[in-house]
Amino acid sequence: MAREYLKNATLTSGSDAGETQAIVRGILDDIEAGGDKAAMEYAAKFDKYDGNFLLTAEEIEAAAARVPEKVKRDIEFSHQNVKRFAEAQKATVTDFETEILPGLTAGQKSIPVTAAGCYVPGGRYSHIASAIMTVTTAKVAGCKHIVACSPPRPGVGVAPAIIYAAHVCGADKILAMGGVQGVAAMTFGLFGLPKANILVGPGNQFVAEAKRILFGRVGIDMFAGPTDSLILADKTSDPEIVAVDLVGQAEHGYNSPVWLVTDDRDVAETVMARVPELIEELPELNRDNARAAWRDYAEVILCADREEMAATSDDYAPEHLTVQADDLDWWLNRLDCYGSLFLGEETTVAFGDKASGTNHVLPTSGAATYTGGLSVHKYMKIVTWQRATRDGAKPVAEATARISRLEGMEGHARTADIRLAKYFPDETFDLSANE
């Protein structure tokens, strides 16, 4: 049977890109021209903040003192899990060298970028976990300078738990500045900071657009849209857990898509009835977000069997993919397109978002078809090198000269010619591109 949409989305997650782009480009241009002063003016306008922008050691210590001990232990627990996973990831990339031909050796070397800028959202929700995810991976990668940037609240500053998390995880500087102005400060090296080589971390549409515009000038983790989640559930799933997990992800924002894909009509109908009830039990802000996301962006899709379910999931390429179905190994081996995969009801997206160790900065809007999420590897450049003896260079030079002339690149050909002439003056070579 064809996929049956028991609930259709009425909107897509695309934003008003044109208007957002114009606003962001104007702010970036102003700050690049005006430097620290312009950034502070935008901070006063948007953050309503006129305190110290680069936190001192005393301010960090004072913030840490305001964090309850239980919260500190939870932050440290999450940090250690993320650190262990990042260290294991790093171990999968090794430097090596290999002899391509006798006398010709080539190799690979991994080099961390020097300066990383980590954006930590702090507006509607204080994303403590984002500080852990971004700063920890940069530290494990070996970045020499790490800036954590987070929006301050008027009269308060950056949330103390964010400051504590960024400090514990290894941030060298903590910048109390949000939005485009914060991204610009890290990129342009304002307030005495080194210019960032890479910008990472989630943010609203203005932060995402700033990173998109600056990409190329600096590296970024990925182009980010609204967060999205998909659950694959069969008749063995618990509809109550499925419904709670969907609501948990819908509370991210009014335009955060959540999708249920199942081959069991009873599961689908039970979940569809239960989700609105669970949404109404949330606190007001969370409720408003989840209600809009479920109403406008959510979909429930009924499939014929698990193969059609898997194919549907791969078509959506969700940021978060949960499997609550029988035979988890089958799903692990079959599924191809997702940012992060959660197998079985014993784990859930929130575990990955907060504390289990895998990173929560993940590809959205279908980008999981071509990329994974933030990892220690994003901060590392995989470069190559080579060296050769004169005998090892000989066949490579001959081939290079002929290929270059066939392409019409005479200057390239002559760089090979001169070496053959110098190293083998008594030999004659056919270096033309003709038969």
Cα distance between residue 419 and residue 429, in whole Å: 12
Instruction: Please give the positions annotated as active site.
Output: 319-320
Cα distance between residue 46 and residue 181, in whole Å: 9
**Which DSSP state fits 45?**
I
E strand residue ranges, 157-216: 173-176, 198-200
CA 311 to chain centre: 24
247 close to 272: Cβ distance less than 8 angstroms: no
156 close to 47: Cβ distance less than 8 angstroms: no
Element (H or E) spanning 241, and its range?
A: helix 239-250
Alpha helical stretches, state H, 43-178: 57-65, 69-90, 128-141, 160-169
* Residue 345: HSE in the Cβ half-sphere, 13 Å Cα cutoff: 16
Among residues 180, 119, 188, the alpha carbon closest in space to that of 148 is found at: 119
Strands 104-112 and 96-101: antiparallel
Cα distance between residue 327 and residue 307, in whole Å: 13
Q: Calculate the alpha carbon distances from 328 to 309, 333, 336, 344 in Å.
A: 14, 9, 14, 7
Identity of residue 41: E
**215 - beta bridge partners?**
218
Query: Which tokens in the block code for residue 416?
Result: 């090979």
Concatenated DSSP letters of 102-154: TTEEEEEEEEE-SEEEEE---SSS--HHHHHHHHHHHHHHT-SEEEEEEPPBT
Q: Calculate the alpha carbon distances from 82 to 75, 309, 351, 384 in Å.
A: 11, 31, 12, 29
